[in-house]
Amino acid sequence: MEDKRPEWSSHISFIIATVGSAVGLGNIWRFPYIMGKNGGAIFLLTYLLLIAFICVIPLCCELALGKLYKKDAINTFKSINPKFKFFGWLCIITVTLIPCFYFVVGGWILNYIWIFLSSKIPDNFTQYFSSFSSQIFIPVLLTLLFLLMTAMFPYRGVNKGIEKANNIMMPLFALILVILAIFAITQPGAKEGLFFMFKPDFSQFNKSMILTALGQALFTLSIGMGTIITYGSYMKEDTKIVKSAYTLICCDTIIALLAGIMIFPIVFSFGVEPSAGASLAFISLPEMFAKLPFSWFFGLIFFILLFFASITSGISMLETTVAAFMDNFKISRKKASVITTAIIAVISIPSALSFGVLSNFKILGKTLFDFLDYFTSNIMLPFNTLIICLIAGWCIPDFWKKVFGESFFGRVCNILLKFIVPIILIFVLVTGI
Ligand code: TRP
């Protein structure tokens, strides 16, 4: 066991690590395709309003719970009231299930890095993707490889592992993203792509768009799984909660926007449907890269970008479970990391096979991979967030004063925390199920 709770070595390391957690496949892969499917600019507007005024509340709650209690997710809930321990476990179960599909995508990324690196670029990516993902050995092997690469960092500890990984990978990530975005806006379809992103068509507005936008906002900020509680528990005493929350939101949103600025001009230049969906990153984009001069170069740096984004998020998921196992079972960091890795390995193997031999194995009509994604993102995420808001708002005396202050701003946040955000989340859950 670590004797003393570790602390981020500086405020900036803390911000980089939380941004590393927040910025992931959710920004680069999920956000553009969801925006594409939901009409572009009008979705973006809804999303921005929700993230700035609604999602900031549970984000502040998780940061504050971490800072106030300085414990892992389970013990945080237990310290508030021993009866709440169960909710801590729910967070841990969810955050252990997310990697079981997220890391399968991580394995695909490794495969694409390999094909662009070795210049074995296939002619038809649609065919290539479906034949590759339905194989047995390679997807499983690469999923496990991605898991091991990620697990190395929580294994080495907060400062030597997690902090170092983020401090190196996140700046490289930002650099590659800017290069790709600049390249994209020099393409012939740039104007059309930017119009699609920034010129709202109000006739496309609908109710289900609000739900999708909220789900996306929670997922991209890593809220609802105790991850931010865990990262917040390593926070320095003088770190400001609301300011950190808005810094995180700004960075995450800027990166999601840059991802859109990188993708839509290319999409319009090559005449792909912006609503192509989940296959955008693994079929449409590589197909376009293949047509460019230096195709291997753009393909390679795009997938390295995805790799950095997903590994820093993966680290934060594993760390949440590792911290919980360490504190609850009183075991060492190393042992907790090995156990977490083993559990995830066992579940992600059948999940990686969902596109091939196990494609007929269905839970509620979905393959294991789709079921894990649906169950964690659409049900557990809003549910856990609701519980966190209700507990923080109603069960901890004067919580809002400690977090938001007693000013007018604080009072507004208190009303949002106690009433408005829970009502919206209940609405999302009921409609979602
Ligand atoms: N936010 C990450 C992304 O956008 C995903 C993620 C990391 C996450 N940790 C999480 C989502 C914890 C929910 C809970 O890809």
Between 73 and 298, whose confidence is greater? 73
Report the pLDDT value the prediction gives residue 277, as an integer from 0 to 100: 67
pTM comes to 0.92
Q: Which of 59, 150, 221, 316 best tests ligand 1's pocket when mutated (most atoms within 8 Å of CB)?
A: 316
| Helices 137-156, 295-329: crossing angle, 10 deg rounding | 60
Pair 207, 43: CB distance under 8 Å: no
Question: In three state form, how does the secondary structure of 403-414 look?
Answer: HHCCCHHHHHHH
**Could you identify the atom of ligand 1 that is nearest to the CA of residue 381?**
13
- Of 382, 351, 346, 348, which is closest to residue 366 (Cα–Cα)? 351
Q: Calculate how far, in angstroms, residue 224's C-alpha sits from the geometric centre of ligand 1.
A: 9
pLDDT band at 286 (very low <50, low <70, confident <90, very high): confident
**Could you identify the atom of ligand 1 that is nearest to the CA of residue 310?**
15
- End-to-end distance of the chain based on CA atoms, in angstroms? 41
Report the pLDDT value the prediction gives residue 183, as an integer from 0 to 100: 86
CA torsion sign for 333, 335, 338, 342 is negative
Q: Calculate how far, in angstroms, residue 407's C-alpha sits from the geometric centre of ligand 1.
A: 32
Q: Calculate how far, in angstroms, residue 49's C-alpha sits from the geometric centre of ligand 1.
A: 20
Q: Which of 310, 317, 376 best tests ligand 1's pocket when mutated (most atoms within 8 Å of CB)?
A: 317
By alpha-carbon position, which residue is closest to atom 14 of ligand 1?
A: 222
- Residue 352 tokens read as 């990686």
CA distances, 275 to each of 37, 40, 196 (Å) = 4, 9, 11
Pair 143, 106: CB distance under 8 Å: yes
**Could you identify the atom of ligand 1 that is nearest to the CA of residue 316?**
9
Instruction: Tell me the β-bridge partners of 107.
Output: none
- What's the pLDDT tens digit per position in 82-128? 999 999 999 999 999 999 999 999 999 999 999 999 988 888 888 99
- What's the pLDDT tens digit per position in 202-245? 888 888 888 889 889 999 999 999 999 999 999 999 999 999 99
- Residue 277 tokens read as 């969906």
Q: Calculate how far, in angstroms, residue 219's C-alpha sits from the geometric centre of ligand 1.
A: 5
Report the pLDDT value the prediction gives residue 72, as an integer from 0 to 100: 96
Pair 131, 165: CB distance under 8 Å: no
Q: Which of 220, 311, 374, 380 best tests ligand 1's pocket when mutated (most atoms within 8 Å of CB)?
A: 220
Q: Which of 18, 30, 222 best tests ligand 1's pocket when mutated (most atoms within 8 Å of CB)?
A: 222
- What's the pLDDT tens digit per position in 148-160? 999 999 999 999 9
**Could you identify the atom of ligand 1 that is nearest to the CA of residue 22?**
1
Residue reference for tokens 């083993």: 342
Report the pLDDT value the prediction gives residue 1, as an integer from 0 to 100: 47
Q: Calculate how far, in angstroms, residue 412's C-alpha sits from the geometric centre of ligand 1.
A: 28
Q: Report the pLDDT averaged over residues 332-350.
A: 98
Count of CB atoms within 10 A of residue 408's CB? 8
Report the pLDDT value the prediction gives residue 357, as an integer from 0 to 100: 93
Return the CATH number of the domain spanning residue range 11-432.
1.10.4160.10
**Could you identify the atom of ligand 1 that is nearest to the CA of residue 224?**
14
Task: Give φ, ψ of 362 to 5 degrees.
Answer: -120, 140
- What's the pLDDT tens digit per position in 362-401? 999 999 999 998 889 888 999 999 999 999 999 999 999 9
3-state DSSP percent of the chain in helix, strand and coil, to 5: 80, 0, 20
- Of 242, 319, 214, 250, which is closest to residue 63 (Cα–Cα)? 242
Q: What span, in angstroms and rounded, lies between the C-alpha atoms of 207 and 428?
A: 11
pLDDT, the chain, mean? 92
- Of 57, 421, 367, 36, which is closest to residue 204 (Cα–Cα)? 36
By alpha-carbon position, which residue is closest to atom 8 of ligand 1?
A: 222
Task: Find the residues whose C-beta lies inside 6 A of ligand 1.
Answer: 21-22, 24-27, 95, 98, 219-220, 222, 225, 227, 313, 316-317
By alpha-carbon position, which residue is closest to atom 11 of ligand 1?
A: 222
Q: Calculate how far, in angstroms, residue 29's C-alpha sits from the geometric centre of ligand 1.
A: 12
- The ranges assigned to domains in the chain are 11-432
Q: Which of 101, 221, 227 best tests ligand 1's pocket when mutated (most atoms within 8 Å of CB)?
A: 227
Q: Calculate how far, in angstroms, residue 20's C-alpha sits from the geometric centre of ligand 1.
A: 9
Q: Report the pLDDT averaged over residues 171-195.
A: 89
Q: Report the pLDDT averaged over residues 160-187.
A: 91
Q: Calculate how far, in angstroms, residue 23's C-alpha sits from the geometric centre of ligand 1.
A: 8
Q: Calculate how far, in angstroms, residue 221's C-alpha sits from the geometric centre of ligand 1.
A: 6
Q: Calculate how far, in angstroms, residue 277's C-alpha sits from the geometric centre of ligand 1.
A: 19
pLDDT band at 3 (very low <50, low <70, confident <90, very high): low
